[in-house]
Amino acid sequence: MTYEHRFDDIQDRPVAVIGAGTMGRRIALMFASRGGTVRLYDPVPRQTAAAVAYVAEALPELIARRGSGEPGQVHAADSVPEALKHAWLAVEAVPEQLDAKIQVWHRIDEAAPDDTIFATNSSSYPSRLLAGAVGDRTRLCNAHFYTPPISNAVDLMSDGATDRAVLDSLLAILPEFGVHPFEARKESVGFIFNRVWAAIKRESLAVVADGVARPEDVDGMFRVNWHLPIGPFRMMDQVGLDVVLAIENHYAEENPHLPAEPRELLRSYVDAGKLGVKTGEGFYVHPDAR
């Protein structure tokens, strides 16, 4: 298969986003912010409905803030095949569990058109680990989004056999939707930014786990010293502490020397059901959370 997508070739084709959680809905928002059509699928219908409602509410404000762009359309799909019909891009954004991702990719591979580009939003698993679930791994890659529209960088990374034209297409097309791709030049667990962020996050957790400071102290120093709007603990709350813990567990599998205390602190919050913004409480209380 040869990939020669250009923006004017694919603007009438939808993007399929599989997984309508925190990241899935935000990815859908970005593709809808420049006139794109998005089909969202999640096995939990109320999750899909909530994601569609989120995009409908956030889209006008995003376009107004940006000062340009036309609103696109986001549709709830009842199945993976419906989401993937005629799609030029399939983005998988399911929770960070390898077995679950592999099962989803089997379903995507069965339903997708032959020229659909495959991208996993995994924040810690290289797409190489998912390649066995797809028939043509040359169209598979990592496209790891952060927290759009607040943080609009995207890591692109080959699975080891990705067609060069797939990566070049995404490097050219994604900026049309207000996100900015950066290519990892070799396989890297954590990609580019997340490798640096992981060290900051882990040491921030260790400072709190050791009783040296509270989360708000660490975040406060980030705001004062680096003039950042939020610090590591509020950022982790936004991502979801269950997701952060899953990522940290994966890093620990790859690097057994990593200290256990940061993961133990995260696990205490997760076990208590305090997952961050999505549950209304994590390191902070979020009274206005959905």
* pLDDT at position 68: 78
| Banded model confidence at residue 25, pLDDT cuts 50, 70, 90 | very high
Please report, for the chain, the start and end positions of each structural domain, with discontinuous segments joined by +.
7-183, 195-279
Asked whether 117 and 1 are in contact (CB, 8 A), the reply is no
> For residue 119, what is the enclosing H or E element?
strand 117-120
At position 279, the amino acid (one-letter code) is T
* pLDDT at position 84: 98
* pLDDT at position 9: 64
pLDDT mean across residues, the chain: 93
Q: What is the pLDDT of residues 227-266, one digit of tens each?
A: 999 999 999 999 899 989 998 998 898 889 999 999 999 9
Between 170 and 7, name the one with better pLDDT. 170
- Average pLDDT estimate for 109-129: 95
- Average pLDDT estimate for 156-170: 96
- Average pLDDT estimate for 92-96: 94
In sequence order, what are the residues at sequence separation of 6 or more whose Cβ sits closer than 8 angstroms to the Cβ of residue 283? 215, 233, 234, 236, 237, 241, 269, 276
* pLDDT at position 289: 67
- 4 pLDDT higher than 90: no
The arrangement of secondary structure in 7-183, i.e. its CATH architecture, is: 3-Layer(aba) Sandwich (3.40)
- Average pLDDT estimate for 260-276: 97
Asked whether 245 and 200 are in contact (CB, 8 A), the reply is no
Quote the CA–CA distance of 87 and 84 in Å, as a whole number.
5
- 7 pLDDT higher than 80: no
Q: What 8-state DSSP symbol labels residue 14?
A: P
- 27 pLDDT higher than 80: yes
- 11 pLDDT higher than 90: no
In sequence order, what are the residues at sequence separation of 6 or more whose Cβ sits closer than 8 angstroms to the Cβ of residue 155? 142, 143, 144, 181, 182, 183, 184, 191, 192, 193, 194
**Record: fold of 195-279:** N-(1-d-carboxylethyl)-l-norvaline Dehydrogenase; domain 2 (1.10.1040)
Task: Assess whether the region 7-183 and the region 195-279 belong to the same CATH fold.
Answer: no
